[in-house]
Amino acid sequence: MAEENRDSRKAILEAAREGFATRGFYGTSMEYITKNAGVSKGAVYWYFPGKWEVYKTVISDEAERLKQIVLPPGVELSRGEALDFFLTRGEQLIDIFADDTVCRLLFVYLQLEAMRGKDDMAEFLTSLRASITEDVISVIQTAYPEGAFSVLGITQREFVNVFMSVLGGIVLNIGLTITRQEAGRSWRLLITSVLGGLGGD
Protein backbone atom coordinates (compact mmCIF):
# COMPACT_ATOMS: atom_id res chain seq x y z
CA MET A 1 0.00 0.00 0.00
CA ALA A 2 2.80 2.41 0.93
CA GLU A 3 4.58 1.25 -2.23
CA GLU A 4 1.44 1.87 -4.30
CA ASN A 5 1.11 5.37 -2.87
CA ARG A 6 4.65 6.23 -3.74
CA ASP A 7 4.07 5.00 -7.28
CA SER A 8 0.95 7.15 -7.66
CA ARG A 9 2.74 10.27 -6.51
CA LYS A 10 5.62 9.52 -8.88
CA ALA A 11 3.25 8.90 -11.80
CA ILE A 12 1.45 12.19 -11.10
CA LEU A 13 4.70 14.14 -11.08
CA GLU A 14 5.95 12.46 -14.26
CA ALA A 15 2.74 13.21 -16.16
CA ALA A 16 2.75 16.77 -14.84
CA ARG A 17 6.42 17.31 -15.75
CA GLU A 18 5.80 16.33 -19.36
CA GLY A 19 2.57 18.36 -19.56
CA PHE A 20 4.02 21.54 -18.03
CA ALA A 21 7.03 21.38 -20.36
CA THR A 22 5.19 20.81 -23.62
CA ARG A 23 1.90 22.66 -22.93
CA GLY A 24 2.83 25.06 -20.16
CA PHE A 25 1.18 25.52 -16.78
CA TYR A 26 -2.03 27.07 -18.12
CA GLY A 27 -2.33 24.53 -20.93
CA THR A 28 -2.07 21.56 -18.57
CA SER A 29 -5.26 20.73 -16.66
CA MET A 30 -5.55 18.55 -13.58
CA GLU A 31 -7.64 16.25 -15.83
CA TYR A 32 -4.70 15.94 -18.24
CA ILE A 33 -2.37 15.05 -15.36
CA THR A 34 -4.84 12.56 -13.85
CA LYS A 35 -5.45 10.84 -17.17
CA ASN A 36 -1.78 10.62 -18.16
CA ALA A 37 -0.72 9.45 -14.73
CA GLY A 38 -3.37 6.73 -14.80
CA VAL A 39 -4.63 7.64 -11.34
CA SER A 40 -7.96 8.83 -9.95
CA LYS A 41 -8.68 12.51 -9.46
CA GLY A 42 -8.93 11.77 -5.76
CA ALA A 43 -5.34 10.51 -5.77
CA VAL A 44 -4.01 13.78 -7.21
CA TYR A 45 -5.85 15.88 -4.63
CA TRP A 46 -4.73 13.50 -1.90
CA TYR A 47 -1.13 14.52 -2.56
CA PHE A 48 -1.51 18.10 -3.77
CA PRO A 49 -3.98 20.87 -2.84
CA GLY A 50 -4.00 22.12 -6.44
CA LYS A 51 -2.20 22.49 -9.78
CA TRP A 52 0.09 25.24 -8.51
CA GLU A 53 1.50 22.93 -5.82
CA VAL A 54 2.02 20.17 -8.41
CA TYR A 55 3.87 22.71 -10.56
CA LYS A 56 6.11 23.94 -7.75
CA THR A 57 6.93 20.36 -6.77
CA VAL A 58 7.87 19.43 -10.35
CA ILE A 59 10.21 22.41 -10.72
CA SER A 60 11.70 22.10 -7.24
CA ASP A 61 12.38 18.38 -7.76
CA GLU A 62 14.05 19.22 -11.06
CA ALA A 63 16.26 21.85 -9.47
CA GLU A 64 17.12 19.51 -6.61
CA ARG A 65 18.03 16.71 -9.02
CA LEU A 66 20.43 18.99 -10.91
CA LYS A 67 21.92 20.30 -7.70
CA GLN A 68 22.62 16.80 -6.39
CA ILE A 69 24.59 16.09 -9.56
CA VAL A 70 26.62 19.26 -9.89
CA LEU A 71 26.81 20.54 -6.32
CA PRO A 72 27.31 17.62 -3.95
CA PRO A 73 27.07 18.99 -0.40
CA GLY A 74 30.17 19.78 1.58
CA VAL A 75 32.53 20.48 -1.33
CA GLU A 76 35.56 22.58 -0.42
CA LEU A 77 37.81 23.98 -3.12
CA SER A 78 41.26 25.48 -3.22
CA ARG A 79 41.86 28.34 -5.66
CA GLY A 80 43.81 25.95 -7.87
CA GLU A 81 40.92 23.50 -8.16
CA ALA A 82 38.21 26.09 -8.71
CA LEU A 83 38.63 26.66 -12.45
CA ASP A 84 38.50 22.95 -13.16
CA PHE A 85 35.49 22.57 -10.85
CA PHE A 86 33.49 25.21 -12.72
CA LEU A 87 34.51 23.89 -16.14
CA THR A 88 33.46 20.36 -15.24
CA ARG A 89 30.20 21.27 -13.54
CA GLY A 90 29.15 23.59 -16.34
CA GLU A 91 29.88 20.92 -18.94
CA GLN A 92 27.87 18.43 -16.90
CA LEU A 93 24.91 20.80 -16.85
CA ILE A 94 25.24 21.45 -20.58
CA ASP A 95 25.17 17.68 -21.19
CA ILE A 96 22.14 17.19 -18.99
CA PHE A 97 20.21 20.02 -20.64
CA ALA A 98 21.27 18.92 -24.13
CA ASP A 99 19.94 15.41 -23.49
CA ASP A 100 16.82 16.41 -21.62
CA THR A 101 14.72 18.89 -23.56
CA VAL A 102 11.84 18.53 -21.12
CA CYS A 103 14.06 19.73 -18.29
CA ARG A 104 15.18 22.73 -20.35
CA LEU A 105 11.63 23.58 -21.36
CA LEU A 106 10.47 23.60 -17.74
CA PHE A 107 12.93 26.33 -16.78
CA VAL A 108 12.56 28.41 -19.97
CA TYR A 109 8.79 28.30 -19.63
CA LEU A 110 8.95 29.45 -15.98
CA GLN A 111 11.19 32.31 -17.07
CA LEU A 112 8.78 33.31 -19.86
CA GLU A 113 5.76 33.41 -17.57
CA ALA A 114 7.69 35.33 -14.93
CA MET A 115 8.69 37.81 -17.64
CA ARG A 116 5.05 38.03 -18.73
CA GLY A 117 4.35 39.45 -15.30
CA LYS A 118 2.70 36.43 -13.67
CA ASP A 119 3.51 37.36 -10.08
CA ASP A 120 3.37 33.84 -8.62
CA MET A 121 5.78 32.64 -11.30
CA ALA A 122 8.14 35.59 -10.83
CA GLU A 123 8.18 35.14 -7.06
CA PHE A 124 8.78 31.39 -7.36
CA LEU A 125 11.57 31.86 -9.91
CA THR A 126 13.24 34.51 -7.77
CA SER A 127 13.20 32.38 -4.64
CA LEU A 128 14.41 29.32 -6.54
CA ARG A 129 17.31 31.26 -8.04
CA ALA A 130 18.17 32.84 -4.68
CA SER A 131 18.39 29.43 -3.06
CA ILE A 132 20.58 28.02 -5.86
CA THR A 133 22.77 31.14 -5.72
CA GLU A 134 23.30 30.66 -1.98
CA ASP A 135 24.36 27.06 -2.53
CA VAL A 136 26.83 28.00 -5.25
CA ILE A 137 28.22 30.83 -3.13
CA SER A 138 28.81 28.44 -0.23
CA VAL A 139 30.97 26.34 -2.58
CA ILE A 140 32.90 29.13 -4.27
CA GLN A 141 33.71 31.02 -1.10
CA THR A 142 36.11 28.33 0.00
CA ALA A 143 38.19 29.17 -3.09
CA TYR A 144 37.22 32.83 -3.57
CA PRO A 145 36.34 34.59 -0.31
CA GLU A 146 34.16 37.72 -0.52
CA GLY A 147 36.36 40.39 -2.03
CA ALA A 148 38.29 38.06 -4.35
CA PHE A 149 36.20 39.28 -7.27
CA SER A 150 36.77 42.94 -6.48
CA VAL A 151 39.61 42.88 -9.06
CA LEU A 152 36.85 42.31 -11.61
CA GLY A 153 34.59 44.92 -10.03
CA ILE A 154 31.92 42.44 -8.95
CA THR A 155 30.78 40.61 -5.81
CA GLN A 156 30.50 36.85 -5.20
CA ARG A 157 26.75 37.01 -5.77
CA GLU A 158 27.20 38.90 -9.01
CA PHE A 159 29.80 36.41 -10.18
CA VAL A 160 27.36 33.56 -9.60
CA ASN A 161 24.60 35.46 -11.42
CA VAL A 162 26.86 36.18 -14.39
CA PHE A 163 27.59 32.51 -14.81
CA MET A 164 24.04 31.39 -14.31
CA SER A 165 23.04 33.89 -17.03
CA VAL A 166 25.79 32.67 -19.33
CA LEU A 167 24.88 29.04 -18.80
CA GLY A 168 21.21 29.83 -19.38
CA GLY A 169 21.98 31.68 -22.60
CA ILE A 170 24.15 28.88 -23.93
CA VAL A 171 21.71 26.13 -23.00
CA LEU A 172 18.88 28.01 -24.71
CA ASN A 173 20.57 27.65 -28.08
CA ILE A 174 21.69 24.02 -28.03
CA GLY A 175 20.25 22.14 -30.96
CA LEU A 176 18.89 25.34 -32.50
CA THR A 177 21.79 27.60 -33.36
CA ILE A 178 24.73 25.81 -31.72
CA THR A 179 25.74 22.19 -31.23
CA ARG A 180 26.45 20.63 -27.86
CA GLN A 181 30.17 20.74 -28.66
CA GLU A 182 29.97 24.46 -29.43
CA ALA A 183 28.06 24.97 -26.18
CA GLY A 184 30.86 23.26 -24.26
CA ARG A 185 33.50 25.34 -26.05
CA SER A 186 31.62 28.58 -25.33
CA TRP A 187 31.40 27.69 -21.66
CA ARG A 188 35.12 26.89 -21.44
CA LEU A 189 36.08 30.06 -23.29
CA LEU A 190 33.98 32.32 -21.07
CA ILE A 191 34.83 30.80 -17.72
CA THR A 192 38.54 30.54 -18.51
CA SER A 193 38.65 34.15 -19.71
CA VAL A 194 36.91 35.55 -16.64
CA LEU A 195 38.60 33.42 -13.99
CA GLY A 196 41.93 33.96 -15.76
CA GLY A 197 41.55 37.64 -14.84
CA LEU A 198 41.76 36.68 -11.17
CA GLY A 199 45.22 35.14 -11.43
CA GLY A 200 46.28 31.91 -9.64
CA ASP A 201 46.59 31.56 -5.86
Binding site for a second copy (CB under 8 A): 22, 101, 104-105, 108-109, 111-112, 114-117, 122, 125-126, 129-130, 152-154, 158, 161-162, 164-170, 172-173, 175-178, 182, 185-186, 189-190, 193-194, 196-197
Closest CA to 20 of 65, 49, 52: 52
In the complex, least distance from residue 166 CB atom to a second copy, rounded to whole angstroms: 5
Which residue, 15 or 194, is less far from a second copy as judged by CB? 194
Which residue, 5 or 29, is less far from a second copy as judged by CB? 29
Which residue, 71 or 75, is less far from a second copy as judged by CB? 71
HEC-encoded secondary structure of 48-72: CCCHHHHHHHHHHHHHHHHHHHHCC
Which residue, 50 or 196, is less far from a second copy as judged by CB? 196
In the complex, least distance from residue 182 CB atom to a second copy, rounded to whole angstroms: 6
Q: How many CB atoms lie within 10 A of CB 145?
A: 11
**Residue 11: C-alpha distances to residues 32, 63, 100, 191 (Å):** 12, 19, 18, 39
Judged by phi (left if over 0) then psi (alpha if -120 to 50, else beta), residue 48 lies in beta
In the complex, least distance from residue 36 CB atom to a second copy, rounded to whole angstroms: 17
